[in-house]
Copies of this chain bind each other. A is one copy, B any other.
Amino acid sequence: MFELDMRSRQPIYEQLVDKLKELIISEVLKPDEQLPSVRTLAGQLTINPNTIQKAYRELETQGYIYSVKGKGSFVNPTSLVKNSEKLVSVIKELKKLLSEAMYLGVKPEELIELIHDLESSVGGGENDD
């Protein structure tokens, strides 16, 4: 499904969180779609189920998925992912990165073009109707 960088300083469970989030945002994983079980994914990636569970718990905390004991873990419908605390931290981080990009020579026009390029590959928001 995806590959992990075992030598990265970034913890394995965080890499999982990042990759699954990308799949949800780009709607490769669709709302209410079931995720692989923690034991299945653990077997596929040759890592411990507890590590998968840790990633899934983080995604649930951030509102991206929901889990049902005995049934599995599923992608949250996008209207349920609205998470104002999360949004505040994303915006804060975005400001830093946008400033850094412009400092490094990227023109505002280029960033605006980037936004338009990404617009069509994102699910959720309010342009799904």
Q: Which residues of A does B touch, CB under 8 Å? A: 18, 21-22, 24-26, 78, 81-83, 86-87, 90-91, 93-108, 111-112, 114-116, 118-119, 121-126
Contacts and interface: CB of A to CB of B under 8 A. Distances in A.
A78 to B, nearest CB: 7
Copies in the complex: 2
Contacts of A108: 115-116, 119
Contact of A102 (B24, B104, B111, B118): B118
- Centre residue among A105, A112, A122 by max chain B CB count within 10 A: A105
Given A94-B111, A108-B116, 13 more contacts: A81-B104, A87-B105, A90-B97, A90-B104, A93-B97, A94-B97, A94-B114, A98-B114, A98-B115, A102-B122, A102-B125, A105-B125, A112-B112
